[in-house]
Structure 1
Amino acid sequence: MTALKLISCFTALTMIMMILSPDTALTAATRGMTTWWNIVFPSLLPFFVLTDLLIKGGVVSYVSKLFAPFMRPLFRLPGEAGFVLVMGTVAGFPMGAKLTEQLYSKRAITKQTAEHLVCFTNASNPIFITGAIAVGFLHEPRTGIFLAACHYIGNVFVGLLLRMYYKNNARSMPSLTPVRSEAPIGKLLSDSIKQATETLLLIGGLMIVFSVIQASLPIADVLLIALPFLDEALTHGLVAGIFELTIGAELIGSSSASIQIKLILISFLLGFNGLSVHAQVASILAHTPVRYRMFLLSRLLHGTISAGLMTIALPFLSLSDTPVFNQPELSISTYGLPWVTALTLLIYGILLIRKFSTQRISYVRRH
């Protein structure tokens, strides 16, 4: 069965389940939309806009000189890769893919370099790991540093292992000449906002779709019937996390399993990212020759390495076997963030109207 036929069958099954259980689909869609509107859009927008301005301002070419001394010998990558690695770690996914696509479109890196780079620069946001997961889902703040360490060290291991696969990377890399846009700052800012908004709208749509797919398909129930010895709560959490990381981590954190098992499973999910993030990365890189297969394999490798590192680190964690429920729930204040989303979308709409009006005037004058 070809991939297209498999996707068609998968889509048809999802639609049937949505018709049979519309309330489940609506709840899942609302949950995905709320998360994107309140948290994802306002938190990622500044990073997307500012990094685009930095690239257009020619900053990357200068920053690359700082990273070149260790990026080349360690990963066989140019100094520009260091900028992507740092921003991908600080901002979280899919920032690494977005920056890789921008550098490739400007011919700053080769196809092979872009493929290598995107495989280990899409990490989870440190605030998400130490705050939302460690404090909010696990109620164990002490686990945050261990989760983050295993996650980022695992990512470095992936980059080092891929270094052996992309052996000719160092010899095929072109030198990046500083390129600065001469456009007025107002146009640069408006273009950056439009590009960032379009990317975030795409991310929001994918989050909603995968939230609905995860809730509609009874994959976990089928696994429990086939393998009745599996823990029900952990199975539901793991399957949900394969589709959408945040939902899966929350379900695993609320299960009655030991904290050690939770940490190992969540470490794997953090490395894998979830199919929702995979779809975001694939969409961003759709106009590049970067192979999704390599990204998928690298995420599976990262998840496995992170879970293994967490298993090794567990003896150094002084944690009880029983979950801690008496600690206060994480309260993430999102006051004002929805207004940021609404205001940005309003600005985006005004810019689109202005663009179409200008094009119409130009067309009328030509004819």
Structure 2
Amino acid sequence: MSEISREILSVGDLNRAIAGSLEERFETVWVSGEVSNFKAYDSGHWYFSLKDEEGQIRCVMFRGRNGQVGFMPQSGDLVEVAANVGFYFDAENKRPIPSHPRAIGIITSPQAAALKDVLSTLARRAPHIPVVIYPTLVQGPDAPAGIIAALKNAEQENAVDVILLVRGGGSIEDLWAFNDEKLAYAIAASPIPIVSGVGHETDVTIADFVADLRAPTPTGAAELAAPRRDQMLQELDAIMQALLQRVSQRVEREAQTLDQLALRLSHALPNPDRMREQITGWQQRLNQAWLVRLDSWKRDQSHYQSQLEMLNPQRTLERGYAVILSKAENTMHAIRNPEELNTQDGFEVRLAAGEVEVQFAKIR
């Protein structure tokens, strides 16, 4: 038996090695089989499986190729196809999206309209979660390499728990960068879970299939990744109420048990005065233990309240920070980019003790 190689491969390296071996062994091959699970999307791509008695193979025929087919295939058709063999990714290997991420990363173009929508949604649902933007091109021949580089930057920094890969709608040509094979492997190999939100709900790309979770729109991706702060507070309050109710029920049960034991002892023992003293001692110990436990719960509740208070944006303002809000087009949103400042529009500056309206005379 041959000796096992000591070379250690990452999951992504192993995937690429398998894909390369398949592509070298099989170039263009003819395959016959029965069509099943055929789906034709509005993007123009066809997705289906070829099967026979011994197994099945998942297939995709892109828009540029299926235009040469003279008919619309249906599930159950027996066909012969010329195909290139590739290695794709099983849905069972997808990573779960964290329910409470410590930070959220966004990979998109800084000029994309989708970025504004995503930031607005995150600010509304989870203002306490930091957001890290990894800028890149999302259209054109250089876009796949830029997105791959952004994924590597996010992996190296290890500052976020989930990544939103987003882009607004467009033509199939505009979204073609998200069908790139190297990008698909990079998404599958990413150690950070990825939520894709590319185009509109009817737009489907290979990146959507490889990502750990697909959202119909960029805004939908933000909603899937960010927990609602008010909902978290409601859940915490419900847990506290349930805990208090269970404690109360437990105390009532123990009190009933104690009463029953006291009654049995008063009838069974020859020295009731001594047993009454013991019962009194047990009651005092129970009360003392209950007070200690209650104090512990109160401290835990105070700790949770202080943690929530730390997340209050008002505390940030009280530390000397300020927020500049734009009033352009009758919409209020926080200024995050100095390029949004100008000398024509009015702005609102919110401080710890209140807010003022300002207009800049000069911007350097």
TM over 0.5: no
Larger strand share, 1 or 2: 2
Structure 1 or 2, whichever has the larger Rg, is 2
Q: Which has the higher contact order (CA 8 A, sep 6+)?
A: 1
TM-score, normalisation: structure 2: 0.20
TM-score of the superposition, structure 1-length normalised?
0.20
